[in-house]
Amino acid sequence: MALADIVLEGLTLILVIALGAVLIGGLSYLATTTVSANNARLIEAGTYVYLPGPTYINNTLYIPMYNIGKYTVYVKYLFVKGVNGVQEYTTNMILKPGQYYVYELSIDYTPEAVTIVVSPINDPRLALEFSSNVTTPKPIALTPISTSLSAQGCPVLASVNDPYNAGWRVTWTMAGGTYSISESSSYQWCILPPYYPITVNFQSTITQNPTGYQCSINPQTTQVNYEGKPETQSFTVTCTSAAYIVIEDYYYGSFNEYGWYLCGDPVKYTINYWGNATGTLSGQVPCIGVNGQYNITYAIPTNGTIYWNLASVKIPSGTTCIISPTSGSVNPGQVSTITFSCLYWPYNSGGNNNGGNNGNYYVYVTVTGDSYGVGWSIASSVDTITGTGNVNMERLYIGGLTDTLTASITSNPSGYTCTISPSSVYASWGSDYTFTVTCRGQGQPPPPPSNNYFVYVTVKNDTLSASWQVSSSVKSISGSGNVNNEQLPIGGQTDTLTALITSNPSGYQCSIRPSSTQATDGSSYTFTVNCVQSGQSQPPPPKYYCIVTPSASDNVNGASGAYVSPSTTQYIPPGQSVIFTWAIRNNPVPPDYYFNNWVVTLNGQTVKTDQTSSTYYDFQCPSNLSSNQTYTLSGTAYYWERYLKVGGGNTFNVPGNGTYPITSQYTTAYFYWSDPLFISGSWNIDYQAGGATFTISVQLNDAYSQTAAATPLSASTTLAIAGPTGYLCSINSISPTSGSITSAKASNWLPTSAQVSVTCVPQGKIR
Amino acid sequence: MSGGPKAGFTLGGLVVLGLVVITVALITYLVSNYLYVTYEAGKYSLELSNKLSSLSRSCIAYIANNSLYFPYSTYVEYSIPNTVKPGLYSTLNLTGFRGEVLIFTEGCTILVKSTGNATGFEVIGYGTG
């Protein structure tokens, strides 16, 4: 090979290497810059900070920032555009992917838009802007529940056509959720199913009928299958004029000896109506709380008059009722009212139902004008009343809802011929009927008039069945053995009673005391029999007595109707006793006072307290009296106002991290209550760990709530944790969260045993 | 015959071959990197688009029966005052709310205000982001 060839080859090789180096170098540079640019493009594509609704309220601009990109970013600046231009703020914060942060900015101008400048941490050279308009809150309706929502684009458009303005409610269920809407006019709304296909089930009902109308809504149940295409569901309210039958429920129970309010079974009834509309109404009248009132309303669609009657009533044992009226008529838009005045009083055996009839139907009979002691008789088809003299509102059972009463004279006073009118009358159940006796004399003076004054006689201690007689000026009663509250007519408002022994048991000599006493109409008198074996001397009548003056009062200005029996001053011989009984007539009394207890005092000294609605005291007269002893025996019924309330504020103020008891040191909230016939109480606290509020609830149980005579007392208050300025505080835990209450009254109560553990962090801290 | 071309690799041939391989590798890297970035960026864009769509949909809400209903559910991040625990909600019971409550969800900001009685509420502000 020639030298020239070698040189040529070498030069060629060098040239190729040089060209190759240039090419590779160029390509390498190109690769470096291109990859760098591509990476920047990738980072830019994966960087996004979402501003979900910057809001300006109360001079504070809240800028939520949500990093939904792939990269951690550095939020460098915030620009706020207002009416006066753009303001720049340095934020200096880092948001990791998925991190949410609310940036708060106090400004005194109305912002229009915000822009943040962010740089990805792994490529600080990049600067990206994200913007959003600022919402200034003003009333705007949220869709989809809105009458202004157009049908176009609504997945399921529901509507109710209600030209009568009846109250209605439509409930729909979908995807396990239940939603409802109530209005009283035509309405349209949009329902957004969360996915499709899906079935939306509807139910509709009328909640309020316009006056004089009975309405219905159709369809009452239906469903819509939403498969991505818009659907509609319409409901229509139709109303017809109506007449009303209202049953007023005045059916009350009674307090037993323990103070419990007891109710009887409901009274069942059936009402037939005819005329422009025909039908039957059946139902029950329940026993309700003391002095409560409850109405049962029937709306009968009709365009004309309807007639009705009470076809049947079933009154349970132990209950007595007066029901009026038992028939009537009613026009559209009008109301017929039937009043059920009933009382459950089971303590008299047999209740109101006597034998010989079904006990369901009766009338009340009054006889007047019989000042001569005329014998008379008034009979229905199933019952008869006979008597002499006047009577007032005597119950006479009848054979059905209606019956015929016949009246007749059974005996005329000597020298007189008497009549009773009317001799026959058509009677309706529950009504009152008056019969009048008139006599024509035959020249003789009329017999002495009788009257309607009575006292009640009790004879006790007649264990040997001595025969005795107690007499007033007009009548005597006699017997042997003890009797209790035997009725004895007296000759006027006051009279003198005399008592004597008419026969002694063999081998015994008996006496009855007092042998004479002044009597007042309506009062009770007790006579005591004492017997000694013959041969023993009868003890001399006592020289001295215990003179006891009873009284009854209350702390509600007499509204309780408190009374005592016997009510008059008693002269009690030494060694003997008399039982005084107190009771109340009204409970509760307005506005909201309930009986709590009796206090019995003897000469001002408390001798008994009792939480039953009636109480008694057995007064024992000392056996060794040297002079008359005067006693004042007073019973006072104490009523309490019944309430449970919450007062004070609704914050729990803490100085920072720590555990704090729920006391007045940290909150101004407090509970206060007064609970008559209190039985028990409880409190509990609801909270969520991490939350900023907790709710204290108190519930009290008493005899009234347990017997459904009143609703249970309960109250609650929610306290918000308030930390130091600039800090947000949340609850770690609260312990204990429940406890019991033992006090019937409280004025400034808190669950002081509960401890609240609190953590506070600076506001605006990254979450 | 001697003096003709010799079989086998010459030095120049090896150099040229090396240059060609490096060049092809560089070009391949450039193209693949470009394609990768384009693909990833497209994927990011799609994910962000879906996320924004989801966030927007989570802001659909209505108020009834003293509750705020989110038919597509929403994630509550924060509230002022701090009465709503963070979490995913389809129904937000407003009982206990007093006055104005700002609810920051991932998709929007909602301002609920009690209308003065214990059971009435209205939404007076609604930021869609």
Terminal CA-CA length for chain A: 82
Q: Judging by beta carbons within 10 Å of its beta carbon (0-12, 13-18, 19+), is residue A508 exposed, middle or buried? A: middle
pLDDT digits (tens, 9 = 90+) for A458-512: 888 887 888 888 888 777 788 888 887 777 888 777 787 888 888 787 777 778 8
- Report CB contact under 8 Å: A41, B107: no
A751 to chain B, minimum CA–CA distance in Å? 20
A767 in B contact zone (CB under 8 Å): yes
- Report CB contact under 8 Å: A53, B128: yes
Higher pLDDT, A125 or A382: A125
DSSP string across A419-469: EEE-SEEEEETT-EEEEEEEEEESSSPPPPP---EEEEEEEE--TT--EEE
- Report CB contact under 8 Å: B71, A194: yes
pLDDT of residue A448: 45
- Report CB contact under 8 Å: B55, A68: yes
CA distances from B7 to B3, B10, B13 (A): 12, 9, 12
pLDDT of residue A538: 45
Yes or no: say if A680 and A668 are a contact pair by the CB < 8 Å rule: no
Q: For chains A and B, count residue pairs whose Cβ atoms are closer than 8 Å.
A: 191
pLDDT of residue A142: 46
- Report CB contact under 8 Å: A38, B26: no
Nearest CA in chain B to A16: B16
A672 pLDDT tier (thresholds 50, 70, 90): very high
Q: Give contacts of A 137-196 with B, CB under 8 A.
A: 137-145, 177, 179-181, 192-194
Long-range pairs, A337-340, Cβ under 8 A, ≥24: A337/A245, A337/A246, A337/A247, A337/A248, A338/A245, A338/A246, A338/A247, A338/A248, A338/A271, A338/A310, A339/A247, A339/A248, A339/A250, A340/A247, A340/A248, A340/A249, A340/A250, A340/A251, A340/A267, A340/A269, A340/A285
Number of CB atoms found within 10 A of residue B50's CB: 10
**Which residues on A lie below 8 Å from B109 (Cβ)?**
52-55, 62, 64, 135
Nearest CA in chain A to B44: A46
- Report CB contact under 8 Å: B33, A34: yes
pLDDT of residue A150: 43
Q: Classify residue A45 by its DSSP letter.
A: H
Confidence check: pLDDT of A446 > 50? no
3-state secondary structure (DSSP) of residue B60: coil
**Which residues on B lie below 8 Å from A54 (Cβ)?**
109, 127
Higher pLDDT, A28 or A65: A65
| Residues A278, A301: Cα–Cα separation, whole Å | 10
SS (H, E, C) A374-424: CEEEEECCCCEEEEECCEEEEEEECCCCEEEEEEEEEECCCCEEEEEECCE
Number of CB atoms found within 10 A of residue A743's CB: 12
Nearest CA in chain B to A22: B19
CB neighbour list of residue A140: distance below 8 Å, 6 or more residues apart? B123, B124, B125, B126
Range of lowest pLDDT (A340-354, A554-568, B52-66, B73-87) = A340-354
Higher pLDDT, A538 or A738: A738
Mutate to test the interface with B, among A1, A38, A187 (most CBs of B within 10 A): A38
Confidence check: pLDDT of B14 > 60? yes
Higher pLDDT, A358 or B63: B63
pLDDT of residue A445: 46
Nearest CA in chain B to A114: B129
Nearest CA in chain B to A50: B129
CA distances from B63 to A449, A485, A543, B66, B120 (A): 80, 69, 87, 7, 10
A33 to chain B, minimum CA–CA distance in Å? 10
| Residues A575, A620: Cα–Cα separation, whole Å | 7
Q: How many degrees, rounded to 5, is the angle at CA B37 between CA B32 and CA B43?
A: 125
**Which residues on A lie below 8 Å from B40 (Cβ)?**
42, 45-46
A62 in B contact zone (CB under 8 Å): yes
pLDDT of residue A660: 92
- Report CB contact under 8 Å: B37, A38: yes
pLDDT of residue A669: 92
Nearest CA in chain B to A52: B129
B67 to chain A, minimum CA–CA distance in Å? 10
pLDDT of residue A141: 44
Number of CB atoms found within 10 A of residue A476's CB: 15
**Which residues on B lie below 8 Å from A194 (Cβ)?**
71-73, 90
Number of CB atoms found within 10 A of residue A739's CB: 14
Section A575-602 average pLDDT:
83
Interior/surface letters A512-522, b for 16+ CB within 10 angstroms, e for the rest: bbbeebebeee
Mutate to test the interface with A, among B48, B84, B108 (most CBs of A within 10 A): B48
Confidence check: pLDDT of A568 > 60? yes
B107 to chain A, minimum CA–CA distance in Å? 5
pLDDT digits (tens, 9 = 90+) for A72-106: 999 999 999 988 888 888 888 899 998 999 898 88
Picking from B15, B78, B107, the nearest residue to A17 by CB comes out as B15
**Which residues on B lie below 8 Å from A17 (Cβ)?**
15, 19
Mutate to test the interface with A, among B102, B103, B112, B122 (most CBs of A within 10 A): B102
- Report CB contact under 8 Å: B111, A20: no
* Mean predicted lDDT score pLDDT of chain A: 81
Domain ranges of chain B: 58-127
**Which residues on A lie below 8 Å from B37 (Cβ)?**
38-39, 41-42
3-state secondary structure (DSSP) of residue B52: helix
A200 to chain B, minimum CA–CA distance in Å? 13
pTM exceeds cut of 0.90:
no
Section A572-581 average pLDDT:
77
A413 pLDDT tier (thresholds 50, 70, 90): confident
pLDDT digits (tens, 9 = 90+) for A499-549: 888 878 777 777 887 777 778 777 788 888 887 766 544 445 567 788 889
pLDDT of residue B2: 45
- Report CB contact under 8 Å: B15, A16: yes
Yes or no: say if A478 and A469 are a contact pair by the CB < 8 Å rule: yes
pLDDT of residue A449: 44
| Percentage with pLDDT > 70 across chain A | 90
pLDDT digits (tens, 9 = 90+) for A357-385: 444 567 788 888 877 778 888 888 777 88
B7 to chain A, minimum CA–CA distance in Å? 16
B8 to chain A, minimum CA–CA distance in Å? 16
Determine the length of chain B.
Answer: 129
- Report CB contact under 8 Å: B69, A194: no
A50 in B contact zone (CB under 8 Å): yes
Picking from A38, A55, A142, the nearest residue to B62 by CB comes out as A142
CA distances from B97 to A59, A410, A650, B80 (A): 22, 80, 12, 11
What is the 3-state composition of chain B as percent helix, strand, coil, each rounded to the nearest 5? 35, 35, 30
Q: Within A595-740, where are the H helices?
A: 703-706
Q: Give contacts of A 668-727 with B, CB under 8 A.
A: 688, 690-693, 695, 718, 720
A34 in B contact zone (CB under 8 Å): yes
